[in-house]
Structure 1
């Protein structure tokens, strides 16, 4: 029988500070990962993603519309983030998530919420440009290159696929999934707009 590893309170506290997960969840993650803090963090985010997937079909019509104006008044953001109940919308955890999302949009300048929002014509244009750039290579190689570069493109222009500005080890989608697990409700970024001074449409 495998001996159960002893997890210190300090380690649980450190993981809790990093992820915002509950004490028992942090302990379970650390036990599952042999006390490795980084692996336990990934384990928690995977659990959060599974919970988020189960809750994805639930209606989210409450929430907030939040604004953020960057220092110097040159960048402004409006975002609508929905949850299932007004109770969760008023919690500090939800408000903190929304604030983090406004900062993300200001800093990383995404164009779309998810890859489903990218117009097909734009995807085709990207595919054609990448394929043309590597036109001398065998078709199977070009296909792999196109697929890989498209993934990088999505990670640049789609909010949910961007690395989170405060922790580059996770994506925005993983951040939201962890909050869904923590708060027990579906959370959806409905829409956003980002303004930059002097920018033309």
Structure 2
């Protein structure tokens, strides 16, 4: 953990913004991927990572960028589905409640 704590204070001032437009031009994704140096940002591997993330986002068809963009009704329905799955897997009620608070 000390290594992780030390690295958590670093700032990723460099990076790229990668755009992906799905064939048919009905879906587009922008991914901002940060790193510490421009040397890393200019590598092919870094660009490939951004492209992979963008395509995963496009394939997952997200409802919103973050929780604030999702209606409370949908959030409640998803939490209910999660609770049912957790109960059927045998998780205790107190563990399920803790998991719901984290998510």
Shorter-chain TM range is 0.5 to 0.7
1:57 paired to 2:57: no
Q: Which residue of 1 aligns with 2:21?
A: 69
Query: Which residue, out of 134, 137, 144, partners 2:95?
Result: 144
Which structure 2 residue ranges, 5 or more long, are not aligned? none
Q: 1: distance between equivalents of 2:43 and 2:16?
A: 11
**DSSP-derived class of the 1:59 partner:** coil
Query: Which residue, out of 58, 61, 70, partners 1:109?
Result: 61
Q: 1: distance between equivalents of 2:42 and 2:58?
A: 23
Shift of residue 144, structure 1, vs aligned partner: 3.3
Larger Rg belongs to: 1
CA RMSD of aligned residues (A): 3.6
Q: Which residue of 2 aligns with 1:78?
A: 30
Shift of residue 79, structure 1, vs aligned partner: 1.4
Q: Which residue of 2 aligns with 1:96?
A: 48
**DSSP-derived class of the 1:74 partner:** coil
Q: 2: distance between equivalents of 1:66 and 1:99?
A: 7
The one-character-per-residue Cα deviations of 1:94-152 (angstroms, maximum 9, x if unpaired) are 1111111110110113444xxxx645xx6xx649x63xx87xx9xx944434455x49x
Q: 2: distance between equivalents of 1:67 and 1:101?
A: 10
